[in-house]
């Protein structure tokens, strides 16, 4: 679980900092390894909530929200990349052109045959 910091707040704060670094570096294995300890620290915090200050908990919430936002951006990037890869794969079987008025036209290649679609 890492070094015993004595405080679940400090431990969670340190963990969220490491999580942000892993998100920013794209280190998926590090993200995966952080989920277990995070659950343990959250359980500790839930058992002794009165021992921690509201300001410290608010700071944790802000840090966790920032990480959630970063993960959302990562997901959008992955989805955009997957869409682009799908488009690139289609390039081998289809040619899209535009006329002088900006209307799209495509030509598909099917097993040696050319089919024109308007």
Contact between 74 and 27 under an 8 Å Cβ cutoff? The reply is: no
Q: Looking at residues 67-82, what average pLDDT do you find?
A: 95
In this prediction, residue 3 carries a pLDDT of 45
6 sits in the region (left: phi over 0; alpha: psi -120 to 50; else beta) called: left
48 DSSP assignment:
S
Domain segments of the chain as ranges: 8-91
Residue 5 has pLDDT above 60, yes or no: no
The pLDDT value recorded for residue 65 is 97
**What strands, in cross-sheet order, belong to the sheet with 113-117?**
94-98, 104-110, 113-117
Residues 52, 6 contacting (CB under 8 angstroms): no
Per-residue pLDDT at 1: 43
Greater confidence, 111 or 32?
32
Give the span between the Cα atoms of 42 and 48, in whole angstroms.
10
Report the candidate in 85, 99, 102 with the shortest Cα–Cα distance to residue 116.
99
């Amino acid at each position: 679980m890492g070094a015993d910091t004595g405080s679940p707040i400090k431990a969670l704060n340190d963990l969220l900092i490491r999580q942000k670094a892993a998100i920013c570096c794209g280190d998926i294995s590090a993200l995966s390894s952080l989920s277990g300890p995070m659950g343990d620290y959250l359980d500790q915090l839930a058992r002794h909530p009165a021992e921690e200050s509201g300001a410290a908990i608010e700071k944790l919430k802000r840090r966790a929200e920032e990480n959630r936002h970063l993960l959302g951006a990562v997901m959008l990037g992955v989805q955009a990349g997957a869409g682009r890869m799908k488009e690139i794969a289609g390039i081998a079987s289809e040619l899209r052109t535009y006329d002088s008025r900006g209307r799209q036209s495509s030509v598909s290649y099917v097993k040696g045959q050319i089919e024109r679609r308007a």
